């Protein structure tokens, strides 16, 4: 059967696919719009499969903060090129995904991909956009935190996102302090809030490295343990948030900065997501 230009344009407006792709899909579907849309989706699946080994080192982070500021959601949507990362449809998809994640609170990326976004699942929406754009697109990270006050921060052209949950705000608005700490996290990439949050396996590894270094330097065996513990404390100062030197005033730690803002103010938790690392 003959496919009219009006039909092709209608399908194009519905799907955003190219004119020739729409015409081919309608022809293959004998003019059935639903079948044509399914054909276009299948094309997206094929594109996705064919690009499964491609690197997605570009993209954007998206944040949704709940009303009241006690909860926030952060996702990273990756693609292959910076050009696509700035595409309006890509940005709209990312915003749509983070919004339904904030509402539904899935436990994992896989659960998030199975949520409904308009008429399709998130996974199907991604496949649909892959078919239109021709690049691999994927959700590389998803985080959600709650707290007395949660501060969001986006840095580096939407390539890095941070969420900070403050404790000890006592009903006050500590946005400025939270933002300063979020900037610290963005810049210094700490492993944990405090030393108690560092994985014990990593702690043991650092102690072992410290001992080996001390022995290699010819230090007496009876002080090797003490030297190793000293190196471990230095590791904690450099890699745990509250013990790090505050980037805006290196004369104090992050913990002391927060205490100077308000007695008892501290960080309960944080999340940091970076595109391409």
Tell me, yes or no, whether 132 and 98 share the same domain: yes
pLDDT average, residue stretch 122-150: 94
| pTM reported for the whole predicted model | 0.85
E strand or H helix at 121, and its extent? strand 120-121
pLDDT recorded at residue 205: 93
Average pLDDT over residues 92-121: 96
Instruction: Say what the pLDDT of residue 37 is.
Output: 87
Which residues are CB-neighbours of 250 under 8 A, at least 6 positions away? none
Q: 44 with 59, same domain?
A: no
Tokens (6 digits) for 164: 């900070």
Last residue of a domain, which of 32, 50, 68? Answer: 50
- Output phi, psi for 184, to 5 deg: -60, -45
Residue 96 shares a structural domain with residue 76: yes
What are 149's strand-pairing partners? 166
- Least reliable range by pLDDT among 56-60, 73-77, 94-98: 56-60
What is the tens place of the pLDDT at every residue in 234-274? 999 999 999 999 999 999 999 999 999 999 999 999 999 99
- The SS3 of residue 203 is helix
For residue 88, give the CATH number of its domain. 3.30.479.20
* Among candidate residues 122, 146, 170, the one where a domain is terminated: 146
User: 22 and 36 in contact (C-beta within 8 Å)?
Assistant: yes
**Residue at a domain's end among 146, 165, 181:** 146
Are residues 99 and 109 part of one domain?
yes
CB atoms within 10 A of CB 74: 26
For residue 44, tell me if it sits in a domain. Answer: yes
135 and 93 housed in the same domain: yes
pLDDT-derived band at 277, boundaries 50, 70, 90: low
The count of structural domains within the chain is 2
Q: What average pLDDT does the structure give for the chain?
A: 93
Same domain, 10 and 57: no
Q: Do the strands 266-274 and 249-253 form a parallel or antiparallel pair, or are they unpaired? A: unpaired
Q: Are residues 21 and 98 in the same domain?
A: no
> Is position 68 within any domain?
yes
Is 158 a member of any domain?
A: no
200-227 mean pLDDT = 91
The predicted structure's pLDDT at residue 2 = 84
57 and 90 co-located in one domain:
yes
Domain that holds residue 89: 52-146
CATH number at residue 45: 1.10.8.10
């Amino acid at each position: 059967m003959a496919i009219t230009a009006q039909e092709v344009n209608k399908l194009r407006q519905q799907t955003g696919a190219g004119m020739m792709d729409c015409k081919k899909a309608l022809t293959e579907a004998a003019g059935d719009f639903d079948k044509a849309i399914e054909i276009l989706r299948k094309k997206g699946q094929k594109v996705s499969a064919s690009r499964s080994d491609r690197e997605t080192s570009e993209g954007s982070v998206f944040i949704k903060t709940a009303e009241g500021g006690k909860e926030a959601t952060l996702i990273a949507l990756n693609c292959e090129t910076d050009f696509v990362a700035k595409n309006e449809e890509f940005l709209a998809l990312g915003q749509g995904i983070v919004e339904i994640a904030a509402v539904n609170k899935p436990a994992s990326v896989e659960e998030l991909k199975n949520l409904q976004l308009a008429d399709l699942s998130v996974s199907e929406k991604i496949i649909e956009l892959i078919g239109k754009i021709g690049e691999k697109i994927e959700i590389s990270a998803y985080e959600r935190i709650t707290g007395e006050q949660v501060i969001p921060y986006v840095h580096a052209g939407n390539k890095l996102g941070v969420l900070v949950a403050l404790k000890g705000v006592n009903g006050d608005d500590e946005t400025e302090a939270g933002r300063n700490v979020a900037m610290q996290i963005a810049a210094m990439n700490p492993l944990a809030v405090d030393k108690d949050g560092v994985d014990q396996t990593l702690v043991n590894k650092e102690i072992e490295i410290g001992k080996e270094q001390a022995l290699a330097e010819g230090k007496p065996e009876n002080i090797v343990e003490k030297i190793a513990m000293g190196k471990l404390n230095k590791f904690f100062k450099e890699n745990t948030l509250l013990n790090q030197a505050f980037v805006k005033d290196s004369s104090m730690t992050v913990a002391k900065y927060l205490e100077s803002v308000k007695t008892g103010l501290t960080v309960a938790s944080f999340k940091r997501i970076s595109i391409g690392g």
